[in-house]
Structure formats: C-alpha cells, structure tokens
Amino acid sequence: MITVTQKPPRVALCGNNMVFKFETTNSPSTDGLELVVEPRWDDTEEQIGVERLLFDALSKCDTEIGEYFNSGLNGMKQFAFPEQGNVAWQVRDGIIRPYKLGLKEYTMSGLGPIYTLSWFDGYYVMRGEIPDWKKAAFYAVYTSFWQWVGSVHPFLTFSPTRKTMRPDQMEKLYLLIYAAPGGDEKLNLKIDLEFWDGSSTSYITTQETDALTQYQMVEFSVGYSVLGISGWIDTNQPGKELKSYAVTAVKTGDVAYSETRYFDFTRDPELYKRQFIFRNSLGVYDTFLATGAGDTVSEYNYIVVDRARIATAGSAAKQQISLTGKDVHTCRSGFMQKPEAEWMAEFFLSQERYVVENSVCIPIVLHDAKVLRRRDDEQVYFVEFEYEHALTQIIEAEQ
C-alpha cells in the first residue's frame, strides 16, 4: 500500500525542484516501486518517464520529478509591436500542460515484475521557475508558485506593478485561470482612468474572452492604442488629459479576477527609444523600453597573409582577408526606480530576446559583460549593456 506524504503543487513550474515523498508497505529486500509520468491524461500516450525507485529500510522514499517536465513545454510566439490596431485576446497553448504522476508497487518473479497496486494523480506543469534574484523575497511570503497564483491572482510577470507607458507602447499580460469557472464565465478588462484635473472614471471593454476553462492561459494585449483609450476619452470625457490608467481582468458583474497593473501615461518624446521583448522566467513574454542614449560601433576582423611573390605596385606581397563584421549596440536604459532596476535581471537572464525595429522583432544576443546598475542621490537607477543582432530568425509583426 502506498501512502503519499508530500505531493507536488497542483500547478507547478518545471524549473523548480518538485520533491515527491511517499511510504510503502513493500519490503526493500524483495519488492520494488516504480514512478511513471504520463502526459495529457491519456494512458495511450507514450510515457515520458519511468523510473525504478529505491526506498530505505523504513519503506520511505522521495524523488525529484521536475526534470521530467522540461521537454515538451515550448510556449508560443506571437508579436505585434508597435501595435497595429486591436489584437484579439486569446487562450494560448503550449504554456501549461496536464500530466499524470503514477506510483506502482511490484514484486519480482521469473517472468519479470508483477504490479500489485497503482496510485495516480493529475497535475499541471508550466515552463519556468522562480529566478534566483526573486527567490528569497518570494519564498519569504509564499510556499509555492501555486500559492502565489491562488492568493494574488497575478499576471505572469515579476515586473513592477506600476510602469510608465507611451501611446505607441503595448504589453502582453498572461493570466492563468486557476479556479474552475462557474457556468459560462468570460473575462473583460476594466480600465480605470485618472486625469490631470484630479477626476477619475472607469469603463469595461466590450471585447471579451471566450468561455473560461480551468487551467488555461489567457493572453491580453494592453496599451493606450490597443485598448482604445483615446477614442473612449474623446467620446465620454472630451478635453481631458490622461494622467494614468490601470487594467484589471474582471468577470461578469465587474468582479475582479486578477491583480491590477498600473501605467503612468506620458507623451514625452524620446529620441533614443528602443523597445525589447523577451521571455521571462515564468515562460511568457515581457517588454522593456530603453530611453537612454545609445551608440553603435562597427567591428571588423581581418587576417593579413603573405603571398609568395615579389611585391610590385600591381601585385602586393600581402593580402588582406576580411573575416567578420558586426555592429555592436551600446544601450542605456534611461532612469528607472529600484523595483524596475531589480526586475531587469529578468531581461539579462533570459535566453530569448528581441529588439523591435520598424515593426519587426529581431533576435539579439548580449555580450558577456558586467552590468552596471548605477544610481544618483535621489535613488534613481540606470543600466548599460551591449548587444548585437543574432540574425537567425525574424518574426514579422502582425498587421
């Protein structure tokens, strides 16, 4: 008989350690245990993991199962930067996957193992992990990713909840539907507007999601343009100047379903604006806008070879061969507050980054260098880094 003493979280990140502990009535000297990992709740699917487990004299055992889930979680790619009108909100596949975890007891015979009892339970796994830069603060408050999702109802980003946004900027926010919806529930976004004259108002977007299903992921496109804020103000609050706006996913009846993200609105021109998109530690995409000055340096590497001939004006003894050429971009972020400077670790640790140029996302690689997080007397920070175009893949923006 199997008794499970520590289960993984119902929804977990595959990059985090997931310890699975249990006890058995089997004897270590004659019997055995087998761990089985099956994808997609379907016993006919090929198993992604089968492992014979060793248990001690007290018939106790534990195993780390996170390594089984690192394959098959590919995520998604879809970009529209800068925003070209409205983009449908949608459920995204590939971010979260269902799996079965199984334990089987068996005894050995001349024909092989004879299984006597099985234990199976269902779990969901997402690509990602709690990163080192966030880990201490995160686990000081929450015991698991699942507790964070269930108590905070967050969008899947560790970026500061308040950021500055310009009219041509947009972000994608990803929301995990963690609870079983009641009936035909759908989601809208509630937009809270604050104006410079001190007044405020709010409205609910007419666009809504399809009916919700538990453990699915909804992607929202948010920004001044994509949310139609300008047109709504012209119609309902003509003549007022926007100071900030906030977005919250809500169910029918204006019931909050998510945390609230705040955006300070500015039309200030930025001569050196560069926008980046990158996969964050939770497996979805964040954006980062750099507003500081930048430089581009062209580097060329040559080889000079000697030729076996006498040098003349028309036939030189040395020949120059150009090997490589590249443009190295130095980017300065512009000033930011401490929470955003800390969150920049997500950008530097990401393994997938793009810079947006002429509505096209171009993959980039960063140079191996120290990142300076500088600050002035008012505790304002900025960072500086170098990158170059990877030029292996270009993702065209949707029109």
Alpha carbons 169 and 288: distance in angstroms, whole number: 10
Nearest in space to 223 (alpha carbons), one of 195, 246, 200: 246
Continuous segment of H or E residues that includes residue 122? strand 112-126
Decide: 92 and 223 in contact? Cβ < 8 Å: no
Alpha carbons 283 and 11: distance in angstroms, whole number: 14
Backbone angles phi, psi at 203, to 5 degrees: -150, 160
Count of C-beta atoms within a 10 Å radius of residue 216: 19
Alpha carbons 375 and 341: distance in angstroms, whole number: 10
What tens digit of pLDDT does each residue of 58-109 get? 788 888 888 788 766 766 776 666 555 556 677 777 788 888 888 888 887 7
Domain boundaries, the chain: 2-75+98-126, 271-306+317-399
Alpha carbons 141 and 217: distance in angstroms, whole number: 24
Class of 271-306+317-399 per CATH?
mainly beta
Nearest in space to 131 (alpha carbons), one of 353, 260, 275, 283: 283
Nearest in space to 95 (alpha carbons), one of 17, 36, 156: 156
Tokens of 320: 């120059």
Count of C-beta atoms within a 10 Å radius of residue 218: 22
Alpha carbons 383 and 379: distance in angstroms, whole number: 13
pLDDT computed for residue 37 by the predictor? 85
Question: Which three-class secondary structure state does DSSP give residue 210?
Answer: coil
Decide: 16 and 130 in contact? Cβ < 8 Å: yes
Nearest in space to 100 (alpha carbons), one of 5, 4, 2, 10: 10
The architecture (CATH level 2) of 2-75+98-126 comes to Sandwich (2.60)
DSSP per-residue letters across 53-83: EP--TTSEEEEE-GGGGSSS--------SS-
Tokens of 88: 């449908």
Give the chain's residues under pLDDT 50: 399
Please report, in angstroms and rounded to a whole number, the separation of the first and last CA atoms in the chain.
59
